[in-house]
A and B are shown apart, each in its own frame.
Chain A
Amino acid sequence: MTNLAMWARLKSPWVIHFNSGACNGCDIEIVALLTPKYDVERFGVKLEPSPRHADVLLVTGAVTKQCADRLKRIYDQMPQPKFVVAIGACACSGGVFQGTYGVEGGVDKILPVNAYIPGCPPRPEAILDGVVKLLNALKAPSPPAPAKEAAAVVLKVEAAPAAETLQETKPNGKQ
């Protein structure tokens, strides 16, 4: 049974795409993958709208503070085993937005990532190559164990009154 499920997963991985704060550059390249020139559906890769039916989560963009919670929630809704692919420089590390106040960082700050596809944006061929590499890794005799629970903790939030935080900020502090 396990073999059958793995066979199905390799032959037709269902992917879900979530933009966690991307500039649309990577997103339009993912959509371009579905269109006649690249056409990933011939390999059985299907873009799935609901996280509950998806095997692979494709994340684009640096994770913004507003999105971090939602990204985690989408990951939690996916059935086991699940895999995460970070697409683009921002998803890999935060990219050009590292250190800006709205951005938490790369996807691996929030979720365990199985494959990184760098590039700004990566070409559709590169995204395809990344997904194929992930699938090949699963075929190996000892495949990488899918993560059970998100390793990283989302947003260490502390309830602090606004006035107190204001005092803590440095006067004339530059970002």
Chain B
Amino acid sequence: MANSEVDILKILESKLQGKPVQIQPGLGKAAIIANGGLHRDVLKAMLEADEKTAVSAITGIDLGANLGVYFHIRTKDSLITIKSEVPKENPKIATVMDLIPGAAFHEMEVMDLLGVEFEGNPNRGHLVLPETWPEGIYPLRKDVNPNEVKLNPSPPEEKSEGKLVKIVVGPQHPALLEPEKFAVMVEGEIVRAVEPRIGYVHRGIEKASESRTYIQDVYLVERICGICNTCHATAFVETVEKILKTEVPPRGKYLRTILLEVNRLHSHLLTLGHAGLEIGYETLFQYFWRDREPIMDITEMLTGNRVIDSSIAVGGVRRDLQESDIPKIKSVLSDLRKKLPFYTQVYENEPSLKMRMQKVGTLSREDALKLCVVGPVARASGIDMDIRKDEPYEAYGEIPFKVITRTEGDTWARMNVRMEEIEESINIIEYAIDHLPVGAFRVKVPRAVPPGEAVTHIEAPRGELFYYVKSNGTTMPERVKVRTPTFSNIPAFLQTAIGQTIADVPPNFVSLDPCFSCTDR
């Protein structure tokens, strides 16, 4: 692995010779400073060097006179950041969506929140801000106090136009647990276009984290998403630990790994059940949720809370694992393992389930790479990306496990990837408990964080979760950027829904395991 790291930077150096581009250490594998439109050349060189190159996130940041636009690019085993700056008076930068279409959504977010104009990206208008939000006010700029913004009146209701019939799903809809709106344009039964309107859960967490201390921020980012809260907390504290140059004790790393995998188990069981509900297979939903309850009991035993565990702290974990709890955890896991063959049988062979899921929402490997999808969605399309394996964090480097991939790329494959991952998670937890190192599980860290910046990506249940933190030497961060897995996966739904029937929309949609409180923040 070490060789390929050297390689990609060497390839870049040779390809970019003669261009005013600086390669520096930091922000992932390296930070490449490329101003004046050179970011496109760097990205082009990276795309040629590695087919798995994808846009992880685009961070917009207010640097005073300039606005920084950082393209965080994921290669097969590292993160590389391309840094560009544009003047605040005339914030224009060339788009990269023609090089890699998955970047379009990320660019729209930076346009919405920081007002950087991506020339060549045709999408305009609000992505996450409320539709009553006035034009020309960008909440993530430092000189804007978004609490004083006066909202416009609500726009009128939308109507169907022409031959296409507009079916509006949401914001309140029986199939959605969360308030989001998708306007599905249908001609007869066939979907012709999907217009998303996200932002119903946009609370402004990135801005809010700038006025809270690092300790408070851990609790804040956990509440970005109640389902994968442990992943959010871990990604945030890992980023802060990188700036602090703190090393977490081995026992802390193992305990975090256990918590992360328990989190994944409950999330996957939840989704597998929810998918049953969406295709009208309610018995399956009830079964999965029945078997999810013991996992919630484990979470409660380990952390003291069922859902939001608040157990991850900067420097380690908050609570140690009690020796007396281990038999209970193991018995719950072995009970779940005994039930897995039945569920696998249902998901692999049940004819009615296959009829609703096979060949629904098929995403080819090429499209998956282009759209920068992550997690089980990418793995179901034959891309073997798993941050736990590619760039091990916590204790994953020491624990053996398989990366599950499928090649079909449809809804059925995505659900089956999750089904098989449950077994891997059980193995990881059992291995981690058996090999738990002794010693401290937390180290003390200072409250103020020295100036610096860092990026982290981890494998949440839904895919790659990305965090960028910039500190300014105080107890509060200067900028926190969160890019959640669902945000990267939505373009896949928008593309695969077209041409299929309206009845295929719910199973296709749920197979992404969408989480909008994550997406909107």
- Residues of A whose CB lies within 8 Å of any CB of B are 18-29, 31-32, 35-37, 49-51, 61-62, 64-67, 69-70, 74, 95-97, 99-103, 120-121, 123, 155, 157-163, 165-166, 168-175
Contacts and interface: CB of A to CB of B under 8 A. Distances in A.
A25 B223 CA distance: 8
Nearest to B139: A101
Contacts of B142: 172
The 7 closest A-B pairs by CB, nearest first: A25-B226, A49-B174, A101-B146, A173-B145, A35-B289, A102-B204, A66-B130
B208 interface: yes
Tell me the dominant secondary structure on chain A's binding face.
loop
A163 B289 CA distance: 52
Given A121-B308, A174-B145, A28 B226 contact: yes
Contacts of A18: 172, 179
Contacts of A172: 142-143
B137 interface: yes
Contacts of B134: 160-162, 165
Interface string B176-212: 0111000000000000000000011111110110110
Given A25-B227, A74-B172, 10 more contacts: A22-B178, A24-B227, A66-B200, A67-B179, A162-B134, A163-B136, A165-B134, A165-B148, A169-B148, A175-B145
14 contacts: A21-B201, A22-B178, A24-B225, A24-B517, A27-B178, A27-B226, A28-B226, A65-B130, A69-B154, A100-B205, A102-B203, A123-B306, A165-B134, A168-B148
Tell me the dominant secondary structure on chain B's binding face.
loop
A22 B293 CA distance: 21
A100 B207 contact: yes
A161 B151 CA distance: 10
B84 interface: no
B130 A23 contact: no
A162 B135 contact: yes
B18 interface: no
Which residue among A64, A163, A170, A174 has the maximum number of chain B CB atoms within 10 Å of its CB? A64
B307 interface: yes
A31 B226 CA distance: 13
A25 B229 contact: yes
B226 A175 contact: no
A80 B151 CA distance: 31
Given A65-B130, A101-B204, A165 B149 contact: yes
Contact of B219 (A49, A96, A161): A96
Which residue among A25, A97, A160, A161 has the maximum number of chain B CB atoms within 10 Å of its CB? A25
Contacts of B210: 175
A18 B171 CA distance: 9
Contacts of B224: 23
A101 B211 CA distance: 12
Contact of A162 (B137, B139, B202, B293): B137
Contacts of A96: 219-220, 223
Interface string B204-238: 11011011000000011001111101000000000
B205 A169 contact: no
B373 interface: no
A62 B203 contact: yes
A149 B363 CA distance: 49
Given A37-B293, A70-B172, A101-B147, A23 B200 contact: no
B203 A100 contact: yes
Given A23-B223, A31-B177, A173 B154 contact: no
Interface in B137-160: 137, 139, 142-154
Contact of A171 (B143, B226, B227): B143
Nearest to B228: A24
Given A36-B289, A165-B137, A165-B149, A157 B154 contact: yes
Contacts of B517: 21-24
B144 A173 contact: yes
A103 B202 CA distance: 8
Contact of B202 (A102, A163, A168): A102
A62 B517 CA distance: 12
B515 interface: yes
B286 interface: yes
Nearest to A61: B201
Nearest to A172: B143
Contact of B226 (A23, A35, A159): A23
Contact of A99 (B147, B148, B178): B147
B270 interface: yes
B132 interface: yes
B290 interface: yes
B178 to A, nearest CB: 5
Contacts of B289: 31-32, 35-36
A21 B223 contact: no
Contact of B152 (A19, A123, A159): A159
Interface in B159-174: 171-174
Contacts of A158: 150
A83 B510 CA distance: 31
A157 B133 CA distance: 11
A165 B150 contact: yes
B285 to A, nearest CB: 8
A159 B225 CA distance: 33
A66 B131 contact: yes
